[in-house]
Chain A
Amino acid sequence: MSSILTDKRTATLAGYVDDRVGASKIVKTFARKIFPDHWSFMLGEVCLYTFVVLLISGTFLTFWYTPSMALTTYEGSYPALVGQTVSEAYATTLHISFDIRGGLLIRQIHHWAALLFVAAILAHMARIFVTGAFRKPRELNWVVGCVLAILALAAGFTGYSLPDDLLSGNGLRIISGVIQAIPVVGTYMAFFIFGGEFPGEVIIPRLFIMHVMLIPAALLAMIGIHLGMLVMHKHMQFPGPGRTNNNVVGYPVLPVYAAKAGGFFFIVFGVVVLMAATVTINPIWNYGPYDPSPIGAGTQPDWYILFVDGALRLMPGWLGPVPTEFSTFGYVWSLNILLPGAVVPGIMIMGLFAYPWIEQWLTGDTREHHLLDRPRNKPTRTGLGVAALVFYVVMALAATNDLVATHFHISINDMTYVLRTLFFVGPPIAFWVTKRICLGLQRRDRELALHGRESGRIVRTADGEYFEVHEPLDVYERWNLVQHEDEVVVPLPQGRATTLDKLRARLSAFFFEDRIAPVTPAELEAAHAHGGHGEVESGHDVPAVGATGHGTGSSHGH
């Protein structure tokens, strides 16, 4: 009786609200939205959820933090700093850590969430890249994602500097050096940003307003666009039986997907809190207040900026007899800082933004794609992705050179020479190895699709012939191995080819010339017709790997 009454009241209330905001239409369309399921699709969710954790924990921190570089004497409860002259920013961060109930836990939640936020972004980007999820119509969303990644780095770096401790202050010093290395305008820019000579008295308040207002606002706006475009384009899915370019197979938002995503939010929050409750992060009480003269051994930025620091550590001051810093025309040209500190990261970021169009141009593929690639089926792209990661990791490793040297008992100089070499040869080697692995996996897929699984059962026929019995795959499993389309090198246009055309043809050949032709229905038919007894296929009939790029694959040489 009472429940009926409550139902009726709820209905009236819901109707009242719906008449005024029209929510039912939105709910109806959105609740039926289908999302496909795969663990790698949840990496983006990790980014979103850690961002929510960052907003919540960051708000707490602003209640007690004072963004000021005014000097004060520390009188809090950490004994080893009592009586020292520190900035208010540093003193209030210590206050949060030692004198606010739960303050240190929230600080550690905020910092661990920040590390995970950027790590999840990188993992998410890697997933998007190797599965080709950036292809038409999602190129612009890839760009939005890249902007988000850069904003995340900016958010991380501005936040890292706020406690005004010795570690982050030295990081800021490097940034000021990189800004000063920009030819002609660098020193003016550095004075503009720091309000005079480094460190000045304005940089912490300025970073604070960037960190709590501008960057989060931009992040929120970009996340809105990112997710809006995701809903509009629909989610991509891995290929499989019944999954086509024109449908989405998965679960509706309500009730399944919303429940899963909501649950996953709490899992992410839980993991972050668990880390924050058990493991120290950024113990600023150890680092001490910032002062431009001291520095600690093993001073590094948070992991996502390591690559810039590492590039700076790898850069030699002299290239043979030529100094990399010199002055002409009355200006100092600090190429030793400019190249690793700004040019290398700049090129990496530009390459990241432009990649969807580069690939589109040299593959000539302008169709819409809603099915993901299996990474092995695009060996060149996967190879490029791994090469880029290796490039990044080599630089990041260079930033840890002093720690690696002491912990593995090697000479820091030798390590620098090795990493300088790897800076150039590491990515090509990674590319080549990855590509060969992808091609090998494709060959294996092809063998499996045509001849089935090796059963390990050897049979002797009446004629004395031995063969191993192969068990055919079931059709659903086989579909995954044969569904992908063949790739074709973009040919040179008829008539006069411009230099650009020639370049494109060359790059296109680079992309596609090493390929394993996918199994065609005819081949499958043939394999089944003669393969009734599951004969072992010898090595001579592996499909063509060649530069010609005929889409038909090779015939079987039986």
Chain B
Amino acid sequence: MKALAARRRHPLGGVVVMLLALLVVGGAYSVLTPAPASAAAATDDDIQAGKELFLANCANCHGLQAQGTDAGPTLIGVGSASVDFQVGTGRMPLSANQPQAHDKPVQFSDEQIAQMGAFVASLGPGPAVPPAEFQEFTDDPERISKGNELFRTNCAMCHNVVGAGGALTRGKWAPNLQDVSAKHIYEAMLTGPQSMPVFNDANITPEEKQDIASYLHFAGTEPSPGGLTLGGLGPVSEGLFAWAAGILALVGCAVWLGAKAS
């Protein structure tokens, strides 16, 4: 102890303290942060098959080592969830250079998508495809109500209150969510595709992600209590309908009444 105290004023003392502090903070961080979800055990065959698919279909933009090029970002560390979302909704492969990838008919089989996911997951740790229990909607009303509240506070500003979608800047948009599977909604929150922010499991828990997906399913499938929904777009489509149907019908009746007289 005495020796340590004697060296307290040593010119390198500050550096040593700093190193020790960094070690403590870094160690605590690695212990306390949630472990990144990792891909379920994939066989080497899957990874090899995935690599071949990757080289044939994706490497043109993402690079031969998936390191990224001017045309596409690196895929090291994006995880299998990202692959499953992007390819499983048809967004990848990209059909053209656009402000944002469109969802379109899926180009690969589920097996091929899983193989590509396994390959990308093998490049570096990243979020994995959610376990089967979170790939389904729940019909528990309490959880749907919770999902409604969470969706309204976290998602509705871009995706609209019933998930009808909305506009972003410069030709980008937040897509319609009414027909999206629970798995893809979960993965989108986990990976934050395109303009979307990431909602990690510490922010919105896996159960809450499922609640949100279930609310969207409820909003999309529940018969509308008031009749035709006009796209769920609110006062604009209502106003258009008031003019195009209501006023037109009333003017039509007025013309009819006026014509009888003269």
Binding site for B on A (CB under 8 A): 37-43, 45-46, 79-84, 97-98, 104, 108, 112, 115-116, 119-120, 123, 166-167, 251, 256, 260, 263-264, 267-268, 271-272, 275, 277-283, 285-288, 291, 293-304, 306, 399-403, 405-406, 409-414
Contact (Cβ within 8 A) B250 A268:
yes
Within 8 A of A (CB), among B162-201: 162, 164-171, 173-174
Contact (Cβ within 8 A) A123 B149:
no
Contact (Cβ within 8 A) A281 B226:
yes
Asked whether any CB of chain A lies closer than 8 Å to the CB of B53, the reply is: no
How big is chain B's contact interface, by range? 35 or more
Contact (Cβ within 8 A) A279 B241:
yes
Contact (Cβ within 8 A) B145 A298:
no
Contact (Cβ within 8 A) B166 A298:
yes
| Residue from the set B148, B228, B241 with the largest chain A CB neighbour count within 10 Å | B148
Query: Measured between C-beta atoms, what is the minimum distance from B216 to chain A in Å?
Result: 10
Query: Measured between C-beta atoms, what is the minimum distance from B26 to chain A in Å?
Result: 35
Contact (Cβ within 8 A) A403 B257:
no
Partner of A46, one of B226, B240, B254, B258: B254
Given A271-B249, A411-B171, 5 new contacts (CB under 8 A): A40-B254, A46-B247, A82-B141, A120-B250, A302-B239
Chain B at the A interface: mostly helix, strand, loop or mixed? Answer: helix
Q: Which 4 A-B residue pairs are closest in the complex by CB-CB distance?
A: A303-B239, A297-B166, A280-B226, A402-B167
Q: Considering the chains assembled together, what is the distance between the CA atoms of A38 and B256 in angstroms?
A: 10
**Within 8 Å CB of B173, what residues of A?**
405-406
Asked whether any CB of chain A lies closer than 8 Å to the CB of B242, the reply is: yes
Query: Measured between C-beta atoms, what is the minimum distance from B170 to chain A in Å?
Result: 5
Residue of A nearest to B176 (CB): A406
Contact (Cβ within 8 A) B148 A80:
yes
Partner of A79, one of B144, B153, B242: B144
Partner of A275, one of B144, B167, B218, B246: B246
Residue of A nearest to B249 (CB): A271
Residue of B nearest to A257 (CB): B261
| Residue from the set B234, B241, B259 with the largest chain A CB neighbour count within 10 Å | B234
Contact (Cβ within 8 A) A39 B236:
no
Contact (Cβ within 8 A) B234 A298:
yes
| 0/1 interface trace, chain B 228-262, chain A, CB 8 Å (1 if under) | 11101111111111110111011101110111011
**Within 8 Å CB of A413, what residues of B?**
169-170
Partner of B228, one of A279, A285, A293: A279
Partner of B157, one of A83, A275, A295, A414: A295
Residue of A nearest to B259 (CB): A39
Binding site for A on B (CB under 8 A): 99, 141-142, 144-149, 152-153, 156-162, 164-171, 173-174, 215, 218-219, 222, 224-230, 232-243, 245-247, 249-251, 253-255, 257-259, 261-262
Q: Considering the chains assembled together, what is the distance between the CA atoms of A7 and B145 in angstroms?
A: 66
**Within 8 Å CB of A256, what residues of B?**
261
Residue of A nearest to B149 (CB): A84
Contact (Cβ within 8 A) B141 A296:
no
Give me 26 A-to-B residue pairs in the complex whose CB atoms sit less than 8 angstroms apart, sorted by A's number.
A80-B219, A82-B145, A83-B142, A83-B146, A84-B145, A98-B225, A119-B242, A123-B247, A264-B253, A278-B228, A280-B230, A281-B226, A297-B164, A298-B164, A298-B233, A298-B234, A298-B236, A301-B235, A302-B239, A303-B235, A303-B243, A400-B236, A403-B236, A406-B166, A411-B171, A412-B171
Partner of B250, one of A46, A302, A402: A46
Contact (Cβ within 8 A) B226 A82:
no
| Residue from the set A264, A294, A400 with the largest chain B CB neighbour count within 10 Å | A294
Given contacts A115-B242, A120-B250, contact A306 B236 (CB under 8 A): yes
Contact (Cβ within 8 A) B141 A288:
no
Partner of A297, one of B158, B218, B229, B259: B158
Residue of A nearest to B165 (CB): A406
Query: Measured between C-beta atoms, what is the minimum distance from B96 to chain A in Å?
Result: 13
Residue of A nearest to B241 (CB): A279
Partner of A108, one of B168, B226, B247: B226
Contact (Cβ within 8 A) B225 A405:
no
Contact (Cβ within 8 A) B218 A80:
yes
Query: Measured between C-beta atoms, what is the minimum distance from A111 to chain B in Å?
Result: 8
**Within 8 Å CB of B226, what residues of A?**
97, 104, 108, 279-281, 283
